[in-house]
Amino acid sequence: MDPDLVTLGRWIRDQRQQQGLTQEELAFRSGLHRTYVGSVERGERNLSVLNIIRLARALGVQPAELLQCLGPESAVAVGQGGEP
């Protein structure tokens, strides 16, 4: 598993739990399937931009805030080996 996907998944899980939501509730709010949300939280899925937006809105955060958990040392940061 990619470490960035694991970090992102943990952040999503933490936010969901802080809001008292189940995976099923987050899935419903985001229009995604419960098993998909679970696999995202485990870092098993490479999310599309649309699904990042859906999950961010369902959690009440901006998509950029959701991705900030990766930090500047992330492989996805521009100039750090990621794609621009």
CATH number of the domain encompassing residue 49: 1.10.260.40
- Give yes or no for residue 79 having a pLDDT over 80: no
Residue 83 domain-assigned (yes or no)? no
Return the higher-pLDDT residue of 79 and 28: 28
pLDDT at residue 73, as a whole number: 64
- Report the percent of the chain where pLDDT is more than 90: 76
DSSP letters along 36-76, please?
A: HHHHHHTT-----HHHHHHHHHHHTS-HHHHHGGG-TTSTT
Q: Is the pLDDT of residue 76 over 90?
A: no
Residue 10's domain comprises 3-70
Work out the average pLDDT over 50-60: 97
Per residue in 20-43, pLDDT (tens digit) is 999 999 999 999 999 999 999 999
**Residue 16 burial by CB count (10 A; 0-12/13-18/19+): exposed, middle or buried?**
buried
In a domain? residue 11:
yes
Q: Is residue 81 part of a domain?
A: no
Domain total in the chain: 1
User: What is the band of 83 on the pLDDT scale with cuts at 50, 70, 90?
Assistant: very low
Quick check: is 79 in a domain?
no
Residue 76 placed within a domain: no
In a domain, 77, yes or no: no
